[in-house]
Chains A and B, each alone.
Chain A
Amino acid sequence: MAFDEAKKDFNLIGTRPARPDGIDKVTGRAQFGADKAAPGQLHAAILRSPHAHARIKSIDTSAAEKAKGVKGIVTRADFATGLKGEMWNKLENVMAGEKALYDGHAIAAVAATSALAAKDALKLIKVDFEVLDHVTNVDESMKDGAPVIREGAAGPSTPEGMHPNVVGFYSSGHGDVDAGFADADLVIEDTFTTEATHQGYIEPHACLAQMGKDGKGEVWCCTQGHFNVAKVCGHLLGTEASQIRVTASEIGGGFGGKTEVFIEPVALALAKKTNRPVKLVMSRSEVFRASGPTASASMDIKIGMKKDGTMTAGRGVFRLQGGAFPGAPGTFTAMCAFAPYALENVSQEAYDVMTNRPKQAAYRAPGSPMAAFAVESVVDELCNQLGLDPIEVRLKNASREGSKASFGINWPRIGLVECLEAAKAHPHYSTAIPENGGRGVSCGFWFNHGGETAVSLALAEDGTVSLSVGTPDIGGSRASMCMMAAEELGIKYDDIRTTIADTATLGYNEISHGSRVTYASGLATIEAARDTIKKLCKRAAAKWGIDEDAVYWEDGFAKPSGPNAGEFEPMSLAKIASKMGATGGPIVGHYEATPEGAGVSFAVHIVDAEVDKETGSTSVGRYTVIQDAGKAIHPSYVEGQFQGGAAQGIGWALNEEYIYGEDGRLQNAGFLDYRIPVASDLPMIDTVIVEVPNPGHPYGVRGVGETSICPPLAAIANAVSNAAGVRMKSLPMSPPRILKALDEA
């Protein structure tokens, strides 16, 4: 749907009220996944494979069953059979079948009267493994002779004759890239790699589940998508989604990692078996070993440029490792790679490759950051060698409304040029680059998403409003929903309470992913408020004895629409609500849709970094994020998304990586060895909110949560490369890698 003109004159939108869940969160009252308890609950623990790849010959639980406090044990035999396709994949990941496919793969689970008793019992379970050869590297996994993770996993897109570990393929492009390269004054071709990283949410996965013999269940859990949890649990337990009521707890970070389902079906199976509530909480090392880190990537990029900065052609080949299941985001990587540039000649292809690692999950704009790293590094090198300004070159080649995107569409209204202009004008860009330092610039792109959405808005007799949405609040979205509803209804922000409704209370809502919440739940909230307003006007019209079309809504009042409608005292929302029982019953507005007008978002990041050539360590000096938000509903939370994505990108660029040993085991499954940025590592992160309205939202909103992690890998790599005087082609740029690159230069 297109909204002809975005609303512009706002009372509340663009202000910064305190979030409605704020007091709960600063006083310790807010209840997260692990904070709920049920009378008589058991505690569960999961036995996990110590091998990267092994056949499970037998599991003997007899000794564990007799242990003190143990009430029940489940293995794969306790889950549904006959599943196909993606649901089979999900079950196989939740609980191993014939083979353990990665270090950390779940083998069995115990429920006992205490967490200590459950953990003690795990040691008594005897598993007879036949250890198999394994592979954890993407390029190795594609080679002849690499261990086969699973025959027959390849999708229909996979070219013939490839290793069975290659399970997906994507290609697109237009023009004649070879002719484009021939036309260039300079062509640079290189290979880049990134390692797998983890979202690093501070709250481990946690749930509390109950289930009876009748297949009716209740789940409390931290998830980005509780409706999806109900659906997946229904399949994996052999019951129906509507029989499992899922309530989303407060969520302690997700960033894509809590879009997947890992432990809830296990807790339900144990609850069913023991007829007791079961609490299951992952340890931090389980989160690293057995949730969903990102894909890692190996990428070949070739770009041609003329002396004046015109890009003549671009070609990219992307190989993404996604763990022991299909689903690495190669398609997104390829589509995002050249998205910022209006290229006449472009071609991109991507391979989805399985390895003996945990199944990758989304991490803010899945697939895009690595693509930007590879492409924007080559663009930077071309600028350096041709003596061109990196922002001018990007402006010269920038995608804009009407230009053809690298992946085929014609761009609608987009804000890349506005972001680049704002970057050029920002004081950061005109300050001198620090001595011994380097400056890096990068663009980034993400699609954003709409998705199935349902919202309900109920009036109370005192004129206040209860707004129910189905998208877990992962970054302050309840504040934005209250603001949009209040803006439409013309009442106070504090008179609205937004609740994340459980799966039995509201229609199906897709996961909080794809930067969709403020866009899609926001759109639905506005439409539900407008539906409510129609109903309010109807009540006023009935009271006044005039046609309902002769009543309009303004600033919280129903008013007659002109002298012809008659002279009546405007009626407030509170007044109409106070009489609603007698005038037709409760007033509830609602909206259900799958909005498809999510506006894409572009960003430009500028960063200054210094490299200590003796130790190889990097310090980030100044950082500026410029991003198109379409319309910022609550600017503080938009800035927060910009800053958070930048900080995660800094970690990905400089420190973070999954390190697997020769034995295929993860060697750094903890925050000490997998080091995410701490407060003393980072500078203040300056932000500029660009607002180029999205025609697909009534206020012009574009999702902002994901694009912020697209540019930083490249921007920092460019800054570090310029500071070190050597092109860094592998992430993370940890001190040993920088010293090696300096050595080899």
Chain B
Amino acid sequence: MIHVTTTINGDETEFVCDPRETLLDVLRDRLSLTGAKEGCGTGDCGACSVTVDGTVVCSCLVLGAEAEGKEIGTVEGIATGEDLHPIQQKFLDHAALQCGICTPGILVATKALLEKHPDPTETQVRYWLAGNLCRCTGYDKIIRAVMDAAKDMRSAA
């Protein structure tokens, strides 16, 4: 077993894990942070998206041990207290989720997109989110929610 010290959503966190365990396994099974989902375990669906030092990754492709000394961000850290982040609110306003299993990963990816590109085109949004599979919505309402959130965040900035 490996001992790891890391920061998750701003909180210093320690855990032990098997060298074969992924960051996703650790988040879900050892730290009870079940917001990130395992849709495939092979980096194809994006449901387990988290940020590691600000970069979006599939946490199923990162080993738990690799979290040592890193800053991890998950869907549980997007809202501030009881205040939803604008992208969370826009997903509700636009009915941009049906089952909601892909939503945590898409929100993590969207937050990173808008931090980097506050004024994305529709095509940019579609390609940025191409690694996050959604099977329910056909993406239409998701894209609209992201574009609308970007607009609001720009005018608030």
Interface residues of A (CB under 8 A from B): 16, 18-19, 21-23, 25-32, 34-35, 37, 114-116, 199-204, 250-255, 281, 283-284, 474-476, 634, 636-637, 639-640, 643-644, 646-648, 670-672, 676-680, 682, 684-685
Contact = CB atoms under 8 A, between A and B. Distances in A.
B139 A679 contact: yes
Contact of A670 (B44, B76, B132, B137): B44
A203 B39 contact: yes
Contacts of A255: 135
A26 B130 CA distance: 19
B133 A29 contact: no
B127 A29 contact: no
A251 B103 contact: no
B6 interface: no
Contact of A28 (B76, B126, B142): B76
Contacts of B39: 202-204, 252, 284, 671
Interface of B: 18, 20-21, 25, 28-29, 32-42, 44-45, 47, 74-76, 78-79, 84, 88, 91-95, 97-104, 107, 123, 125-127, 129-144
Contact of B38 (A29, A30, A34, A647): A34
B97 A682 contact: no
A105 to B, nearest CB: 21
B75 A27 contact: yes
Given A27-B79, A253-B135, A19 B92 contact: yes
Contacts of B21: 116
Contact of A284 (B35, B42, B91, B137): B42
Given A640-B95, A647-B138, A679-B142, A35 B34 contact: yes
Contacts, number: 183
A706 to B, nearest CB: 14
A677 B142 CA distance: 14
A672 B44 contact: yes
B38 A204 contact: yes
A647 B137 contact: yes
Contacts of B107: 26
Nearest to A35: B34
Contacts of B100: 21, 25-26, 30, 250, 252
Chain A interface SS verdict (over half): loop
A43 B55 CA distance: 32
A288 to B, nearest CB: 10
B37 A32 contact: yes
A644 B29 CA distance: 32
Contacts of B79: 27
Contacts of A474: 98-99
A671 B46 CA distance: 11
B35 A28 contact: yes
B84 A203 contact: no
Contact of A25 (B20, B103, B141): B103
Given A250-B101, A474-B99, 17 more contacts: A26-B100, A28-B76, A32-B101, A34-B37, A202-B101, A250-B100, A252-B37, A252-B101, A284-B45, A636-B141, A639-B141, A644-B136, A648-B135, A648-B138, A670-B44, A671-B45, A682-B138
What DSSP secondary structure best describes chain B's contact surface?
loop
10 contacts: A26-B88, A200-B133, A202-B101, A250-B99, A253-B135, A475-B98, A475-B136, A670-B42, A678-B133, A679-B126
Contacts of B102: 202, 252
Contact of B34 (A21, A31, A672, A682): A31
A34 B24 CA distance: 13
B137 A643 contact: yes
A193 B151 CA distance: 46
A240 B20 CA distance: 41
B79 to A, nearest CB: 6
A28 B136 CA distance: 18
A661 B106 CA distance: 35
Contacts of A646: 138
A434 B27 CA distance: 49
B37 A203 contact: yes
A22 B84 CA distance: 11
Contacts of B140: 643, 682, 684-685
A200 B40 CA distance: 11
A676 B139 CA distance: 12
A682 B42 CA distance: 23
A671 B129 CA distance: 15
A471 to B, nearest CB: 14
Contacts of B88: 26-27
Contact of A203 (B32, B74, B99, B139): B99
A54 B102 CA distance: 38
Nearest to B44: A671
A129 to B, nearest CB: 27
A283 B36 CA distance: 16
A643 B137 CA distance: 6
Contact of A283 (B41, B131, B141): B41
Contact of A18 (B28, B93, B103): B93
Indicate the member of B35, B100, B123 with the most A CB atoms within 10 Å.
B100
Nearest to B78: A27
Contacts of B78: 26-27
A268 B114 CA distance: 45
A73 to B, nearest CB: 22
- Smallest CB-CB A-B distances: 10 pairs: A28-B35, A252-B101, A647-B138, A25-B100, A636-B95, A671-B44, A643-B138, A28-B75, A35-B34, A26-B88
Contacts of B41: 283-284
Contacts of A682: 126, 138-140
B84 A26 contact: yes
Contact of A679 (B40, B103, B125): B125
Contacts of A114: 18
A28 B111 CA distance: 15
A103 B134 CA distance: 27
A137 to B, nearest CB: 27
